[in-house]
């Protein structure tokens, strides 16, 4: 019997002291290119959610974060993608380094924005997670 499979991913909500969020624009990825998202990625086998988030933060925006400085604030369950996905959003207020494009072959812009100034070309689940987590809602889903 084949078990149901689901793709897990982690997203980093970097929020600075001015209340701005770090967004990166997807480029050359074959998925939502030209749209803004958060630093994110899929889990590698054998790593925890926090380990994946720490690795992705370093790979994508060249910052160092510690496990105790990130907090799971939102989960998004996408029931219509094939295969289905589950996305974990971690909030971080403290990190070492200055967020910068570290993968120019996958990202062509980085911006700090407020919730009131989100770009129109933002990945929908990212916009939902940012706005919902801001008001304390920790779960959303995409379904038929």
CATH of the domain at 44: 3.90.79.10
Q: How confident is the model at residue 83, as a pLDDT?
A: 85
Residue 53 inside a domain? The answer is yes
Q: How many residues make up the chain in this entry?
A: 144
The model's confidence at residue 3, banded by pLDDT at 50, 70 and 90, is: confident
Rounded Cα distance, 140 and 131, in Å: 11
Residue 130: inside a domain: yes
Confirm if 91 and 13 have CB atoms less than 8 A apart.
yes
Query: Could you list the residue range(s) of the whole structural domain that residue 85 is in?
Result: 11-142
Q: Which two tokens stand for residue 45?
A: 């086998």
Domain contains 2: no
> Rounded CA gap, 102 and 143, in Å?
34
| Rounded-to-integer distance, Cα 74 and Cα 139, Å | 5
Q: How confident is the model at residue 144 (pLDDT cuts 50, 70, 90)?
A: confident
pTM over 0.75: yes
For the chain, give the percent of residues with pLDDT over 90.
88
Domain count, the chain: 1
The reply to whether 5 falls in a domain is: no
């Amino acid at each position: 019997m084949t078990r149901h499979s689901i793709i897990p991913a982690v997203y980093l909500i970097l929020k600075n002291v001015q209340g701005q969020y770090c967004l990166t624009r997807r480029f050359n990825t074959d998925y939502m290119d030209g749209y803004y998202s958060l630093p994110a990625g899929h889990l590698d086998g054998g790593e925890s959610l926090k380990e994946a988030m720490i690795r992705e933060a370093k790979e994508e925006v060249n910052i160092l974060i510690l496990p105790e400085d990130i907090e799971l604030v939102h989960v998004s369950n996408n029931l219509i993608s094939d295969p289905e996905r589950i996305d974990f959003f971690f909030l971080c207020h403290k990190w070492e380094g200055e967020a910068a494009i570290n993968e120019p072959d996958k990202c062509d812009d980085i911006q700090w924005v407020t919730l009131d100034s989100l770009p129109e070309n933002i990945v929908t689940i990212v916009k939902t997670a940012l706005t919902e987590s801001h008001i304390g809602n920790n779960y959303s889903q995409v379904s038929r």
